[in-house]
Amino acid sequence: MRVALFVTCLVDFFRPTIGFAAVKLLEEAGCTLEVPRAQTCCGQPAYNSGDRADAKAIAVQVLDGFEGYDHVVVPSGSCAGMIRVHYPELFADDPAVLPRAERFAPRIWELVSFLVDICGMQTVDARWDHRVTYHDACSGLRELGVKDQPRRLLASVGGLTLKELPGAEICCGFGGTFCVKYPDISDKMVSDKEAEIVGSGAEAVLAGDLGCLLNIAGKLHRHGRRIEVRHIAEVLAGMTEEVPPIGLPR
Amino acid sequence: MLATSRAFEANARAGLANDNLQRALALMRTGFPQRRRLAVERLPEFEVLREIAKSIKDHTLEHLDFYLELFEENVLASGGQVHWARSPDEACAAVLAICRSVDARIVTKGKSMIAEEVGLNERLEKNGITTVETDLGEYIIQLRHEPPSHLIAPAIHLMKEQVAETFRAEHLALDPERSLAEARQLCDEARAVLRPRFLAADVGITGANFLVASTGSSIIVTNEGNGDLTQTLPRVHIVMTSLEKLVPTLEDATTLLRLLARSATGQEFSSYTTVSTGPRRPGDLDGPEQYHVVLLDNGRSALLGGEFQDMLRCIRCSACMNHCPVYAAVGGHAYGWVYSGPMGAVLTPSLIGVAEAGHLPNASTFCGQCESVCPVKIPLPKMMRHWREREFAEKLNPPVYRAGLSLWAWVAKRPALYHALVELASRALGWLGRGRGRFRTLPLANGWTAVRDLPAPEGRSFHSLWAERRNGGTVK
Amino acid sequence: MSEAREQILAGIRRSLKRGRLDAARETELRDRVAAHRRNLVPARAAALDDPGRVDLFVEMAEGVQATVARVNSPAAVPEAVARYLAAENLPADLVLAPDLSLDDILWDARPLLRTRRGRAEAGDTVSLTRCFVAIAETGTLMLISGAETPTTLNFLPDTHIVLVYADQVVATYEDGWDRLRTDGGMPRAINFITGPSRTGDIEQRIELGAHGPRRLHIILVDDRQKATDGESK
């Protein structure tokens, strides 16, 4: 299986370890992995701002760089959802590109769902003695159906116990530019999420989207909460020693 | 109704700071979604019915002219009258004319969002006609001179102490010694005060959840019984409604009714679902002598055939706002007009213009909860995005924002440059933040750091590290 | 007014990018309407046999705070009514629907029950009506207006008693529509009543008896069943 990694702009800039964790997991699952150089972003910021022209230009760049692969894997439900669900919509009025987008869509995957649903991964070898809770990032959940897969793999991590959040599926308030355009509302949403995480008694919170994680970590640390925030890939790949939790120094 | 949607940001801030509202919203957040979920679990066919309901509405909208004519035909055949209104002004004028024709002094009202939209109460009051809201929530906000804050629970923003306060201030016959501490007592007080108004009304005005073309019927879905007392006791019944409420047959209405109460309150069926067809029949002992339907357009016909047509499927259940984290944070008044939550974010700009209401479709994370619970599968985030596209095309966004987006997109289309800049920036920011691992403040990032810390980047970009490992040969 | 009508219809056609539908298409649509096909009907009630349907109706009705008493025969009805009113501490004063089928009930068997026939008036506290059908799917009563069935009886009094015969219990709303169509044209009002009046408008707390009846009591006459009203308790 020729698999390409779509790194995402946030992982590239903020936390490459997530990308390397994805590489490790995919190679362990038997994939031959490549990372095409000509990738920057999936175009969602432009798309959600109503700038279809720029969104299309960036999307074509993605298609150019990735459509030759059997599968393209993304450590983010948000970006994977953009490509899988929204590229066909973006090119609905463009008969030249639409077929490419439609052909490409079923081959793009969020990381954890790819590992479980396509590679058939049932367990991981990692160990992490932590009481953990999990935030279901909106796009992954509602656009791509990512729900059971992370839980299945987390259940196999040695020493890890999972406490569910009652509002696991409620938006954390990141929403791309929303969090800076409407900071008061975003603050309320992330505060509610924070309260639930703290109330769960968990030592760590995980999710599959770095945007959510930056938002949640930022809020927890603003209030001095000693709760580790990590991307699930870091835990599944056993790479928690390689990098401190999000928002904490080395 | 006068719109304050332009002031959404200020409205939202006021909502966030309003303790009573926040307590009320906390009740809503746990109440409605939980009840809906239970109701959906009890009906295995729910998902299939959503798809059928969507296709019933789509079919009707595609043939709306036909079904409207058929509806009118059948209303007339059963002895009713139809008044077509292009605008709020025409709708109000029609109602006023009917009221005048019977010398109406008092009008009772069941809940009608169309009446809110056209400012009916104000128009009637200006012409010397007393309007009495009878839905408990609408009655309370009428006393408080507030607009509704929710599609089906207009006073949802209030705690019971506030309601008690209002009754004490407005109910002059109320004995100060009587306790109004509990919801039970407030309901009983409202019941007692409103009963004589029901009996005194000359005209009763209701809305309609559905209009049935095959029989010329209107359908209201209520729990209190006020809609029925409103339409049965007075001499005249006026249905204030809009074009898109139409469905072809009683069976079609039934399918939608199976979804409505479950989506709204989690009930299997509302306490009272009433199908009205024309005035009283010869020999009837009760019922109105006249039955009028005021059919409002006010921009709906213009939405057909365009990118917002799906919005016309809406059956006004409120599931979207009940599940919306933005609504749950700021409440319905923040939206500044009749319709709030996700459906308000889509509908309001189409009815009052995107210049006035542009904030509404922007104040969303596109979490998608609304779309996932909409009984007729309206793609609400997609339509909010269409509004954003219109705004972008019309250059309504703040110039700084547009410039930033433009610049970022320009760079993103040039991977080599992008990678170089990202590496540079992550090194710089990673170095700056190495001490604490995060920033309390950062120039240009005030929108973020005002309320949360910004985690520092690791200090190298993935792509530069990947290139190194490829070239340097260090196997991971 | 008709200018508005023409403009609205024209606006609709303009938006849909077509003119008026042609005669063939209109006939198709009229036929579709006349056929009034059922859409998917949930299996919940439809799959049950008669006794099962009746039991489901009772279960669903009680689930929405209606009370249900089962009696064996029409002869037991006055007794059941009197007992209910006494238990609820209500005056033994009823307004009954003019409904001719209520003539069969021997109200004189309980002379302390004062009854009046007609529509409801402001002071009435208890009404008693029949219904058209009772829908098992959600415990819903379908009542239709008419010369013998004034709708004020369903809404004005504080307590509404509905007399249902077991053979009136149907599975679904669609069954109700089918029966109604064989009955003649549409009545002025069809009331689907599912439990007593209620509101959740104050702090989401459900309170019964907002404007309509506080109590909905169903007396189910079912000669196949052992009576539940007042027995063995």
Structure confidence by residue, pLDDT tens digits, B217-234? 999 999 999 999 999 999
**B310 lies in some domain:** no
Residues B175 and B103 in one domain: yes
Q: Are B120 and B92 in contact, with CB atoms under 8 Å apart?
A: yes
Confidence of residue A2 (pLDDT cuts 50, 70, 90): confident
Domains identified in chain A and CATH numbers: 2-118 (3.40.50), 131-236 (3.40.50)
Q: What is the mean pLDDT of chain C?
A: 93
Nearest Cα to Cα of residue B44 among A118, C44, A132, A162: C44
Interface of B with A in 151-190 (CB under 8 A): none
Q: Are B255 and B313 in contact, with CB atoms under 8 Å apart?
A: no
User: Residue B22 has what pLDDT?
Assistant: 97
Question: Which segment of A58-72, A76-90, A121-135, B393-407 scores lowest on mean pLDDT?
Answer: B393-407
Residue A6 has pLDDT above 70, yes or no: yes
Range of the domain at B465: 399-472
DSSP B158: -
B63 and C186 within 8 Å at the Cβ level: the answer is no
**B327 lies in some domain:** yes
Mutation choice for C interface testing from B41, B65, B167 by most C CBs within 10 A: B65
Comparing alpha-carbon positions, the chain B residue that sits nearest to A239 is B476
Confidence of residue C231 (pLDDT cuts 50, 70, 90): very low
The owner of tokens 């001095």 is A224
Encoded tokens for C95: 């307004």
Confidence of residue B153 (pLDDT cuts 50, 70, 90): very high
Contacts B267 to C, Cβ<8 Å:
64, 194
CB-based contact (8 Å) between A88 and chain B? no
Domains identified in chain C and CATH numbers: 1-37 (no CATH), 42-221 (3.40.50.10420)
pTM (two decimals)? 0.96
Query: Which of C15, C187, C197 is the closest to B302 by Cβ?
Result: C15
User: Residue C233 has what pLDDT?
Assistant: 34
**B206 lies in some domain:** yes
Q: pLDDT digit string (tens) for C23-57?
A: 999 999 999 999 999 999 999 988 899 899 999 99
Encoded tokens for A71: 């599968």
Question: What is the b/e burial string over B257-286, where b = at least 16 CB atoms within 10 angstroms of the residue's CB?
Answer: bbbbbbbbbbbbbbbbbbbbbbbbbeebbb
Amino acid of residue B394: E
User: Residue B476 has what pLDDT?
Assistant: 41
Residues B206 and B108 in one domain: yes
Q: What is the mean pLDDT of chain B?
A: 95
Encoded tokens for C66: 């209606």
Closest Cα of chain A to B385: distance in Å?
Answer: 6
C15 and B94 within 8 Å at the Cβ level: the answer is no
- B51-B52-B53 Cα angle (round to 5): 90
Encoded tokens for B444: 């240009």
User: Residue C232 has what pLDDT?
Assistant: 37
Residues B73 and B172 in one domain: yes
CB neighbour list of residue A134: distance below 8 Å, 6 or more residues apart? A150, A151, A154, A162, A164, A165, A168, A205, A206, A207, A232
A248 and B13 within 8 Å at the Cβ level: the answer is no
Residues constituting chain C: 233
Encoded tokens for C158: 């504080």
Query: Which of B86, B250, B258 is the closest to C4 by Cβ?
Result: B86
B457 and A13 within 8 Å at the Cβ level: the answer is yes
CB-based contact (8 Å) between A92 and chain B? no
**B192 lies in some domain:** yes
Query: Which of B363, B409, B451 is the closest to A54 by Cβ?
Result: B409
Residues B433 and B330 in one domain: no
Contacts C30 to B, Cβ<8 Å:
70
Element counts in chain A: helices (H) and strands (E): 15, 8
* Cα B438 from Cα B89, distance rounded (Å): 57
**Domain final residue, candidates B248, B275, B302:** B302
Closest Cα of chain B to A61: distance in Å?
Answer: 7
Q: Are A142 and B331 in contact, with CB atoms under 8 Å apart?
A: no
User: Residue B411 has what pLDDT?
Assistant: 96
**Mean pLDDT, rounded, for A7-15:** 97
Residues B75 and B151 in one domain: yes
**Mean pLDDT, rounded, for A61-80:** 97
Query: Which of B365, B369, B387 is the closest to A174 by Cβ?
Result: B365
Mutation choice for B interface testing from C153, C188, C216 by most B CBs within 10 A: C188
* Cα C197 from Cα C193, distance rounded (Å): 9
Q: pLDDT digit string (tens) for B235-293?
A: 999 999 999 999 999 999 999 999 999 999 999 999 999 999 999 999 999 999 999 99
Encoded tokens for B209: 């959840």
Interface of A with B in 96-135 (CB under 8 A): none
CB neighbour list of residue B39: distance below 8 Å, 6 or more residues apart? B261, B262, B266, B267, B268
Residues B28 and B56 in one domain: no
User: Residue C226 has what pLDDT?
Assistant: 56
**B335 lies in some domain:** yes
Residues B99 and B191 in one domain: yes
Confidence of residue B475 (pLDDT cuts 50, 70, 90): very low
User: Which burial class, exposed, middle or buried, applies to B2 when counting CB atoms under 10 A from its CB (0-12, 13-18, 19+)?
Assistant: exposed
**Mean pLDDT, rounded, for C146-170:** 97
Q: What is the mean pLDDT of chain A?
A: 97
Residue B474 has pLDDT above 50, yes or no: no
**B246 lies in some domain:** yes
**Cα distance from N-terminal residue to C-terminal residue, chain C:** 65
**Domain final residue, candidates B368, B397, B426:** B397
Determine phi and psi for B475, rounding to 5 degrees.
-75, 135
Interface of A with B in 186-245 (CB under 8 A): 186-190, 192, 214-215, 217-219, 221-222, 243-244
Mutation choice for C interface testing from B69, B81, B223 by most C CBs within 10 A: B223
Residues B141 and B261 in one domain: yes
Residues B242 and B130 in one domain: yes
Residues B166 and B270 in one domain: yes
**B311 lies in some domain:** no
A190 and B452 within 8 Å at the Cβ level: the answer is yes
**B66 lies in some domain:** yes
* DSSP helix/strand/coil, A135: coil
CB-based contact (8 Å) between B285 and chain C? yes
**Cα distance from N-terminal residue to C-terminal residue, chain A:** 37
**Domain final residue, candidates B351, B366, B397:** B397
Radius of gyration of chain C (CA): 22
Strand partners, C128: C96, C161
Residues B292 and B427 in one domain: no
A250 and B461 within 8 Å at the Cβ level: the answer is no
Comparing alpha-carbon positions, the chain B residue that sits nearest to A248 is B437
DSSP B274: E
Encoded tokens for A69: 């692969």
Helix (H) or strand (E) run with residue B310 in it: none
Percent of chain B with pLDDT over 90: 93
User: Which burial class, exposed, middle or buried, applies to B119 when counting CB atoms under 10 A from its CB (0-12, 13-18, 19+)?
Assistant: middle
Residues B7 and B119 in one domain: no
Q: pLDDT digit string (tens) for C93-143?
A: 999 999 999 998 888 888 888 999 999 999 999 999 999 999 999 999 999
* Cα A77 from Cα A140, distance rounded (Å): 4
B412 and A173 within 8 Å at the Cβ level: the answer is no
B297 and C17 within 8 Å at the Cβ level: the answer is no
Mutation choice for B interface testing from A14, A85, A220 by most B CBs within 10 A: A14
CB-based contact (8 Å) between A170 and chain B? yes
| ipTM (interface pTM) | 0.96
CA B431 to chain centre: 48
- The count of structural domains within chain B is 3
* DSSP helix/strand/coil, B108: strand
